[in-house]
Structure 1
Amino acid sequence: MIRFGYGTNGFANHRLTDALDVIAELGYEGVALTLDHHHLDPYADGLAHRVAKVADRLRTLNLAVVIETGARYLLDPRRKHAPTLLDDDRDKRIDFLRRAVAVGDDLGAEAVSFWSGVRPAHVPPALARDRLVDGCAQVLEGTETMKLGFEPEPGMLVDTIAGWRGLRDALGAPERFGLTLDIGHCRCNEPDPVPDCVTSVAGHVVNVQIDDMRRGTHEHLEFGEGEIDFPPVLRALAASGYRGLVAVELPRHSHAAPDVAARSLAFLRRAEEESRRESRHESRRFGLEGGST
């Protein structure tokens, strides 16, 4: 059975404790926690105490957790998502990612997720690539156990699964350098059907984000508003052997977070049940065919 979670970046108007309570009450089994100025700020005073309190709350609510690092203005109040691993001042991003790993360790997180960033216009492509490889290597050096999920993001330097494969090879294919797979991004940016994308990376995925999307448009949509047929996707996830969280990623829906989260889980459970019916039907069909030969 797939374990569904919800991203705290879709609860931006809630206190973190309130968001966790609502997510658990709705029936989710985990949370994708985006470290931010209002959600477990890794730069504010008393971090160890605050992390311990969140860890206690997660245990009480029986919520698994992954750490997301896509806060928009945490590191720079004027530049969205900056600095990235590609910027001149990229050391600040590396420090943030190391802090995220440390927080993840203390929370018992299943993975820490991050991305490359958009290449600055003044940075040549080759230099941007070198900076990315070096930055990822430094983050890897800062942890011995945490799984890192690198996310291909539309519009960024690494925007496809193929790009992630190339980066992983450049790092020497470390076991802990896995993939964060955003299902919506597969529809938006990948040449293959979404279920095929899932199957192609079986064994490498350490974190899954799920949302609806349309081809060529990077806009996270509620389920049913985009072009993705979800039962085959969930079926592919189940067949791939992935057992981590599958967390709803709707960062622009905080204005109606409790209602959106409730609708999302109801949709996913219906889609999961339909995927099971399809699997049972196919098993019976192949069983009958096998018996007639």
Structure 2
Amino acid sequence: MRPAPTHPHPLHYGYGTNGLTDLRLDDALALLADLGYDGVGLTLDHMHLDPLAPDLPARTRHTATRLAELGLHVTIETGARYILDPRHKHGPSLLDPDPDARATRTDLLITALHIAADLGAHAVHCFSGTTPHHTDPATAWKRLAESLTPALHAAHTAGIPLAIEPEPGHLLATLDDFHHLRGLLGDPEPLGLTLDIGHCQCLEDQPPADCVRTAAPWLRHVQIEDMRRGIHEHLPLGDGDIDFPPVLHALTDIGYQGLTVVELPRHSHAGPELARTSLEFLRTQEATAC
């Protein structure tokens, strides 16, 4: 893993490639480097480092070279909508009734961890998925724990945390749910947390800055965007209700050294411009927080 970048700002910002899907990956990486980003949240998808491509090793080597040339750090994201099933969004999930289908998702996470090791990534992100119809909670949690176990073994071997994200509408939707999973699994060291600041605004009882401090011991990856209370819609920074200076101050205060990645997956049509304005916004808000 490359050392953290050195600059006068304590936080390290990235932009998610799921918000740059109209660009080739090389072009997206060059754009982010030119804008001054520290890194990239790289979603494994058919247009950006396809994890199912027959020439994946060669593509991964090329991406590693480009990241090094551009001085970009990376976190691997596994939230591509149709990478495993072209007809069902985020299917199959770790909760699928079919064990073979669940194993397909687990295998994707293991592949992502191998890619992450080759790229020197900080973490691999994942989420639980929604609870299938006619599935009781105990069964769903059991499936999640069992599905994650092989991936956590791979994470331990790779020395890269597997950072699960509380996602509105999913089985694992809140910070309390994350701690429930930790308990079921026996608190394995490779299990970390992806904290989406917008999701905190959307449904957590605490303000987002307090969520950051509460999550600090397990925090391995941060996603950031604006959002309104009770509405799960990723908004450009400044278009929602989040008070950003306290959030950025909290991240600085806890000594968070990973990437804070702008997450605007439905805004690729304006991706290059939003990448520019998002970094400007965050730097301004960070200065205010200090």
Scaled by the length of structure 2, the TM-score of the pair is 0.94
Match of 1:113 in 2: 125
Rounded Cα–Cα distance in structure 2 between residues aligned with 1:65 and 1:260: 19
Match of 1:34 among 29, 38, 43: 43
Rounded Cα–Cα distance in structure 2 between residues aligned with 1:199 and 1:232: 11
Rounded Cα–Cα distance in structure 2 between residues aligned with 1:60 and 1:254: 25
Cα distance per residue 1:228-281 (max 9 Å; x no partner): 0000100001001111100100001100111011010000000000001xxxxx
Deviation at 1:122, TM superposition (A): 3.0
Contact preservation (8 Å) 1:203, 1:241: no
Identify which range, 120-129 or 197-206, moves more after superposition.
120-129
Q: Are residues 1:17 and 2:26 paired? A: yes
Match of 1:126 in 2: 138
Rounded Cα–Cα distance in structure 2 between residues aligned with 1:124 and 1:197: 28
Cα distance per residue 1:142-198 (max 9 Å; x no partner): 232111111000000000001001101111111221100000000001001111111
Rounded Cα–Cα distance in structure 2 between residues aligned with 1:47 and 1:27: 28
Match of 1:56 among 41, 45, 65: 65
Rounded Cα–Cα distance in structure 2 between residues aligned with 1:124 and 1:17: 44
Match of 2:202 among 188, 194, 198: 188
In structure 2, give the amino acid aligned to 1:244. G
Q: What is the number of equivalent residue pairs in this alignment?
A: 276
Contact preservation (8 Å) 1:203, 1:242: no
3-state SS of paired residue (2:50): coil
In structure 2, give the amino acid aligned to 1:204. W
Contact preservation (8 Å) 1:187, 1:215: yes
What are structure 1's unaligned runs of at least 5 residues? 277-293
Rounded Cα–Cα distance in structure 2 between residues aligned with 1:170 and 1:129: 8
Rounded Cα–Cα distance in structure 2 between residues aligned with 1:253 and 1:138: 34
Residue correspondence of structure 1 range 87-236 to structure 2 within 5 A: 87=96, 88=98, 89-143=101-155, 144=157, 145-236=159-250
Scaled by the length of structure 1, the TM-score of the pair is 0.93
What is the root-mean-square deviation in Å for CA atoms of aligned residues? 0.7
What are structure 2's unaligned runs of at least 5 residues? 1-9
Percentage of matched positions with identical amino acids:
54
Rounded Cα–Cα distance in structure 2 between residues aligned with 1:38 and 1:273: 35
